[in-house]
């Protein structure tokens, strides 16, 4: 009797083991089938596609995570791209200059910037007004000089015309002044149409000088004994 029970237990264990083995074989076959299908899907997908597979990392262990393959997009930048630089220009107010030459006694009041651009006819008038008053040479002045001068005049809360001591200076005039011992640079920015010597009624020269220095734009010269300051659009420097 005991021998029969032992025999029955033996066969029960064998049958159970066989069943587990069959189940594991079936499960592995299903897993392999699933992985094979996923592998085909991944290989067929175009690069950078957003196919999200649970086992993608297993199938492509040498590949980076899928999110690293996608381009990084800043939602704010995409939704609100910055406007082109020129787009803000029309929003600037019209800008004008009122100047008087201490040598020719000529006076000019002109709008040189309007509707987001320099006014060509105004620039031509300013070029002539700032000509070399000794030999009459006229060149194209740097328009940025007018912007700088307008800003300085506005910050000083000045009234009346800006008094111009010197605008453009020809190479001949510059050489003549140097030969007479005048304190002028051999390669003066006045020759290039990038400099102007000015003063403003009722505004201390030191205040003008300090304000212009604060812009960090171009050169600033201080001539208290002659009653003017020099500003230009060359490299930043001062004296």
**pTM to 2 decimals?**
0.62
Select the more confidently predicted residue: 128 or 82: 128
Q: Tell me which of 79-88, 103-112, 219-228 is least confident.
A: 79-88
Q: Element (H or E) spanning 230, and its range?
A: strand 228-232
The string of pLDDT tens digits covering residues 165-206 is 999 999 999 999 989 888 788 889 999 999 999 999 999 999
- Does one domain contain both 101 and 195? yes
The pLDDT of 218-235, averaged and rounded, is 96
For residues 95 and 126, the answer to whether their CB atoms sit within 8 Å is: no
Tell me which residue range forms the domain holding 120: 87-238
92 and 65 fall within a common domain:
no
Residue 81 phi/psi, 5° resolution? -65, 145
Q: Do 10 and 107 belong to one domain? A: no
Same-domain status, 104 and 221: yes
Q: 30: Cβ–Cβ under 8 A, 6 or more apart, which residues?
A: none
Q: How confident is the model at residue 187, as a pLDDT? A: 86
112-119 contact pairs (CB < 8 A, 24+):
112/143, 112/146, 113/146, 113/147, 115/90, 116/86, 116/89, 116/90, 116/91, 116/92, 117/89, 118/143
Q: Do both 94 and 62 map to the same domain? A: no
- Residue 130: CB atoms within 10 Å: 25
The Cα 77–Cα 87 span in angstroms is 17
Tell me, what CATH number does 198's domain have?
3.30.1380.10
One domain for residues 98 and 73: no
**186 and 228 part of one domain:** yes
State the total domains in the chain.
2
- Per this entry, what is the length of the chain? 239
Residues 142 and 183 in one domain: yes
Minimum mean pLDDT among 73-87, 111-125, 149-163: which range?
73-87
pLDDT digits (tens, 9 = 90+) for 18-73: 454 444 445 445 544 544 444 444 444 444 433 333 333 333 333 333 333 333 33
For residues 116 and 176, membership in a common domain is answered with yes
Same domain, 233 and 163: yes
Cβ-Cβ contacts under 8 Å for 225 (sequence gap 6 or more): none
75 shares its domain with 157:
no
Q: Which pLDDT value is given to residue 71?
A: 35
Average pLDDT over residues 129-137: 97
Residues 91 and 148 placed together within one structural domain of the fold: yes
Predicted confidence band of residue 124 (pLDDT cuts 50, 70, 90): very high
């Amino acid at each position: 009797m005991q021998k029969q029970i032992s025999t029955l237990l033996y066969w029960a264990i064998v049958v159970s083991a066989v069943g587990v083995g069959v189940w594991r074989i079936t499960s592995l076959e299903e897993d392999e089938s699933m992985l094979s299908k996923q592998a085909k899907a991944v290989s067929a997908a175009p690069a950078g596609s957003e196919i999200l597979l649970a086992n993608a990392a297993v199938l492509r262990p040498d590949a980076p995570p899928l999110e690293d393959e996608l381009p990084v997009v800043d939602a704010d930048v995409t939704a609100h791209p910055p406007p082109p630089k020129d787009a803000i220009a029309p929003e600037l107010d019209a800008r004008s200059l009122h100047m008087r030459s201490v040598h020719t006694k000529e006076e000019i009041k002109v709008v040189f910037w309007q509707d987001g651009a320099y006014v060509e006819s105004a620039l031509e008038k300013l070029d002539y007004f700032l000509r070399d008053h000794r030999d009459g040479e006229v060149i194209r002045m740097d328009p940025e000089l007018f912007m700088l001068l307008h800003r300085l005049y506005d910050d000083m809360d000045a009234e009346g015309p800006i008094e111009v001591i010197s605008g453009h200076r020809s190479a001949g005039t510059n050489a003549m002044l140097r030969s007479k011992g005048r304190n002028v640079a051999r390669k003066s920015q006045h020759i290039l149409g990038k400099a102007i010597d000015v003063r403003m009624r009722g505004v201390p020269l030191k205040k003008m000088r300090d304000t212009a220095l604060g812009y960090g734009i171009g050169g600033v010269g201080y001539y208290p004994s002659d009653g003017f300051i020099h500003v230009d659009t060359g490299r930043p420097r001062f004296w």
